[in-house]
Amino acid sequence: MCTAWLLDQGHELTIIEKKDYLGGNTHTVDVEVNGIMHHVDDGANWFSPSIYPHFNRLLELVEIPFDWVPLSMTYYNKLTGKVNAMPPVTFRRIIQMFAKPHVLPELLTMNKVVNAAFPIVENHQTDMTLREFMDSLNLSQKQRSEFLMPVLSGVWGSPHDQTEDFSVYPLMKYMVYHKPSGLKYYDWKVMRGGVRNYIKMMADALQNTEIVVKDGVEFVQPDPSTGKVKVKTSSGREFEFDKLIITAGARDASIILKDSEHLDDVKKALSKFNYYLATVATHSDTDFMPPDRKDWSVVNVLNKGKHSDATIWDGWKTDQNVFDSYINEGDDPKQLHHVSEWWLPCETPEFFRAQKALEKVQGTHNIYFGGDYTRDIGSHEDAIDSAIENCKRIWPESERLKQLTN
């Protein structure tokens, strides 16, 4: 959507979307509880004011309304019954830090880990795995298995048995740049009315763009002799473009291009990305929360042993039981409102090498790739950055590009 917004003033564009709504890895679920409507974003949802500079600038340019969320987290180990509400900024949480013997050691462990990860994140060091990082800190097995691993795999939504093989860089980036300073929460932005409202406002700003939904791309064929790219959709519609930007993930892009000719190097680059299926449930089941409501935070990680579930308390402002959770095999939330599935990249060191390989084939036969997975850690800011880079390649004179990047 951002790519179209950047190019719209100087080109005739067509957006082709397989789903029945625009926005890629964004999705808003409307949940009414006790007469109060909640707009739950179960894809991209929160946006940092510090490490989302281009997205924050986009909000200003398109005048997209947002609200603030004070970020807090509670870690609940269901196996031991121990609860740790972080950061310790309220009177209750400060008292717990000294009254409960496990709280302060866990906080000190997290502080040690965040401090050690700072130079890794600052230097964009992507080749060290979480396992290697924990080994370098001489963390005990208890610190690993009962605290750090459940927290990171839960928050990231990654498979518990694979998280140690992930690069420590993406796992720790948010924590490094959002370490609380003093006795206060770190505030994040959420879109008023849900991310759907932001996508709608972006679409409404387009003047020279045809939007096609519920009609995915099934076949792509570049013509090296003319430089044109032919596209066929599932409904049988055919298009011919001067340039094609594929913003689907590498997994879907590989499927779209599987029968295409003249793109062997592109297919090889895309094949280097590996994915896992993440399931997100929107529900009202308090069993996914700490047992004492006073310990609830905006983010809540529940350690069940074989896996961890991260649950967002979407009803924190209204004090209603509205949640969205990463769920795993065996989870069966009651009062279920909606379930979404997302294919997410395994952000191992190989993931970042795959990004570099894909960068080398950008523009092959006028085919480009965009989306969050193509840049850095795959955040929404990275999706915006991928749009910026493709605009620079195709139309660097874009006035909106200048406004967004200056």
3-state secondary structure (DSSP) of residue 344: strand
Cα atoms in the 13 Å half-sphere on the side-chain side of 313: 28
Model pTM score: 0.95
Q: What is the pLDDT of residue 182?
A: 66
Residue 50 burial (10 A CB sphere; 0-12, 13-18, 19+): exposed
- State the span(s) of the chain assigned CATH 3.90.660: 73-184+275-345
pLDDT in tens, the chain (406 residues): 999 999 999 999 999 999 999 998 899 999 999 999 999 999 988 898 889 999 999 999 999 999 999 999 999 999 999 999 998 888 899 999 999 999 999 999 999 999 999 999 999 999 999 999 999 999 999 999 999 999 999 999 999 899 999 999 999 999 999 987 767 888 999 999 999 999 999 999 999 999 999 999 999 999 999 999 999 999 999 999 999 999 999 999 999 999 999 999 999 999 999 999 999 999 999 999 999 999 999 999 999 998 999 999 999 999 999 999 999 988 999 999 999 999 999 999 999 999 999 999 999 999 999 999 999 999 999 999 999 999 999 999 999 999 999 9
In whole angstroms, what is the distance from residue 172 CA to residue 36 CA? 35
pLDDT tens profile 254-310:
999 999 999 999 999 999 999 999 999 999 999 999 999 999 999 999 999 989 999
Which tokens belong to 290?
């700490």
User: Checking DSSP bridges between strand 209-212 and strand 13-16, what pairing results, if any?
Assistant: parallel
CATH topology classification for 2-68+190-274+348-405: FAD/NAD(P)-binding domain (3.50.50)
Please enumerate in sequence order all residues whose Cβ is within 8 A of that of 265, keeping only pairs 6 or more positions apart, or say none.
361, 364
Q: What is the pLDDT of residue 375?
A: 98
CATH 3.90.660 fits 73-184+275-345, yes or no: yes
- State the span(s) of the chain assigned CATH 3.50.50.60: 2-68+190-274+348-405
Cis preceding-peptide flag for 87 (omega within 30 of 0):
yes
> Crossing angle for the helix pair 380-394 and 53-62, nearest 10 degrees?
80
DSSP codes, 211-267? EE-S--EEEEEEETTTTEEEEEETTS-EEEES-EEE-S-HHHHHHHTTT-SS-HHHH
In whole angstroms, what is the distance from residue 228 CA to residue 263 CA? 14
3-state secondary structure (DSSP) of residue 330: coil
Q: How many CB atoms lie within 10 A of CB 60?
A: 10
Q: What is the pLDDT of residue 199?
A: 96
Please enumerate in sequence order all residues whose Cβ is within 8 A of that of 402, keeping only pairs 6 or more positions apart, or say none.
none
User: In 3-state terms, the chain is what percent helix, strand and coil (to 5)?
Assistant: 35, 25, 35
pLDDT tens profile 356-384:
999 999 999 999 999 999 999 999 999 99
DSSP codes, 26-88? --EEEEEETTEEEEEESSS-EE-TTT-HHHHHHHHHHT--EEEEEE-EEEEETTTTEEEEES-
Q: What is the pLDDT of residue 326?
A: 96
Cα atoms in the 13 Å half-sphere on the side-chain side of 302: 22
In whole angstroms, what is the distance from residue 200 CA to residue 379 CA? 20
Is residue 177 within a helix (H) or strand (E), and if so which, with residue range?
Answer: helix 168-177
In whole angstroms, what is the distance from residue 61 CA to residue 387 CA? 16
- Smallest CA-to-CA distance from 348 within 140, 129, 200 is with 129
Q: Convert 95-110 to b/e letters by CB count within 10 Å (16 or more is b).
A: ebbeeeeebeebeebb
Q: How many CB atoms lie within 10 A of CB 298?
A: 19
